[in-house]
Amino acid sequence: MTRNPFDLSGKVALVTGANTGIGQGIAVALANAGADVVLTARRDPSETRALVEAAGVRAHVVMADLSSIEPCQRIVDETMGAFGRLDVLVNNAGIIRRSDALEFSEDDWDAVLDTNLKVLFFLCQAAGRHMAAHDGGSIINIASMLTFQGGVRVASYTASKSGVGGLTKLLANEWAAKGINVNAIAPGYIATNNTAALQDDADRNRQILERIPAGRWGEPGDIGGAAVFLASDAAKYVQGHILAVDGGWLAR
């Protein structure tokens, strides 16, 4: 019987920022596809853990503050201690700071670049060293619409997410021959706690929906489906790609 190429049974996935929103949606989708999931977060991801375990797979929590590279190797080591392998890394954790470019502070620049780009790279490195020495694996970075666009009042966020796009391609170039697939997902407007203010602003919500050909906000599960694809054998020949999951936002 031919194996379902989207089946993640027997694989171990690590998801950062897994306590809510997109991270939770990705973790649950990977679990429903059969993967055991390691949940990394600053806040207790007990709700996500319950949803993962309800899918009939194992979950393990690693509490970590990803504002510095200090926990990167520990996260991989704890994953190995819990499950003995690491097949999929999803770099979802990220922060944003807003201010006019003329007033943007060095602290807001450094905080966002450290979490969104520096820590992402060194977690890729820690996971990549393991994957290169074993059977390969998949790394999925969470990019943004601002990987492609400039945005306003989010200088460090735009710079970081543009960097995520470039770094994804660089790592694919270096690691494809080692059996490591490196790709990214660029979410559009997704209905989460982080976007609640935009959804509640009638004028802004209308403007956003008018530009989205699909006519609706995305759900975390929409990003989860893309993550399952990129983590699976179905994407074995997909390298260095940034997959926009945006309801057609960029097409408009």
Active site residues: 157
Half-sphere exposure of 50 (CA within 13 A, CB side): 5
How far is the C-alpha of 242 from the C-alpha of 93, rounded, in Å?
A: 17
Q: Which residues pair with 244 in a beta bridge?
A: 186
Using left for φ > 0, alpha for ψ between -120 and 50, and beta otherwise, residue 98 falls in beta
Contacts 24+ apart (CB under 8 A), 162-165: 163/113, 163/116, 163/117, 164/116, 164/117, 164/120, 165/242
239-to-91, 126, 235 alpha-carbon distances in Å: 16, 19, 8
Q: Which of 143, 144, 140 is nearest to 171 (CA)?
A: 140
Task: Report the length, in residues, of the chain.
Answer: 252
Q: Which residue has the tokens 């979490």?
A: 115
Helix, strand or coil, per DSSP, at residue 181 = strand
How far is the C-alpha of 30 from the C-alpha of 117, rounded, in Å?
A: 24
Tell me which DSSP letter residue 66 carries: T
